[in-house]
Amino acid sequence: MGRAASEASAMDAQVRFDQCALSGFEVRFVAQNAALVTYRVKAAGLDHGKAFRLDSYASSLWMKRNGGWLNVFYQAAPASKR
């Protein structure tokens, strides 16, 4: 799913999160003005009436610009089923 589709889905009134848990946060500074944040996402809810469950690892790259931090990259990958 591309960024535009992902953002549209997050704002869609037909998508409802009943549970959302974020855990395992780690922050690594990869440069003076850049930080990589990794964490786990577990969520459940309804997407246009269809139940969904999500268990994934997410990462986002943040850069300091004009005195504030801006998320410039985001990626999520399903957690492996062991």
- What is the per-residue pLDDT across 2-28, written as a single tens digit (0 to 9) for each? 455 555 666 788 889 999 999 999 999
In this predicted structure, what is the pLDDT of residue 6? 56
> Would you say residue 82 has pLDDT above 80?
no
Retrieve residue 26's tokens. Answer: 């780690």
Retrieve residue 64's tokens. Answer: 């300091």
Q: Which residues are CB-neighbours of 38 under 8 A, at least 6 positions away? A: 24, 25, 26, 28, 57, 58, 59
In this predicted structure, what is the pLDDT of residue 80? 82
Retrieve residue 22's tokens. Answer: 């974020």
In this predicted structure, what is the pLDDT of residue 81? 74
pLDDT band at residue 36 using 50, 70 and 90 as cut-offs:
very high
Q: Given 3.20.20.480, 3.40.50.720, 3.60.110.10, 3.10.450.50, which CATH number is that of 3-78?
A: 3.10.450.50
Q: Which residues are CB-neighbours of 27 under 8 A, at least 6 positions away? A: 35, 36, 37
- What is the helix (H) or strand (E) element at residue 59, kind and residue range? strand 50-65
* Beta bridge partners of residue 16, listed in sequence order: 46
Q: Where are the domains of the chain?
A: 3-78
